[in-house]
Amino acid sequence: MNRYCVFCEIVAGREPADVLYENDEVIVFRNRLRWVPIMLLAAPKKHMTQSELWAAMGPVGEAAQKVGQEQCPGGFRLISNFGYDGMQSQDHAHVHILGGMFLGEYA
């Protein structure tokens, strides 16, 4: 039984998203959360886990840094959450692109 995945629905065009970049393998869109001025999500179009993504970072890593440089020329941060304790809220693999302001030091 397949679980509902909002990222798969965005990829399929059945859920709305402000898409900034897309190719055959990757989609980058604005996060609905707005903790910092620029908060984007880079995800593979194919549903996979965070561990699978990081094992084959190629296309998603390239897209994340490309859009990060375009949207946050002063610098940006890439973040990926793993599991409940890491605050992962979506099963579909993705990387956060944060910027648009000085992000400070890590907590």
94 labelled catalytic: yes
Residues 91 and 82: their CA atoms lie apart, in Å, by 9
Asked whether the beta carbons of 40 and 97 are under 8 A apart, the reply is yes
Name residue 88's amino acid.
Answer: Q
Which one of the listed residues 47, 92, 94, 96 is annotated catalytic? 94
5-to-1, 24, 100 alpha-carbon distances in Å: 12, 19, 28
Residues 52 and 33: their CA atoms lie apart, in Å, by 25
Question: Among all residues, which ones are annotated catalytic?
Answer: 94
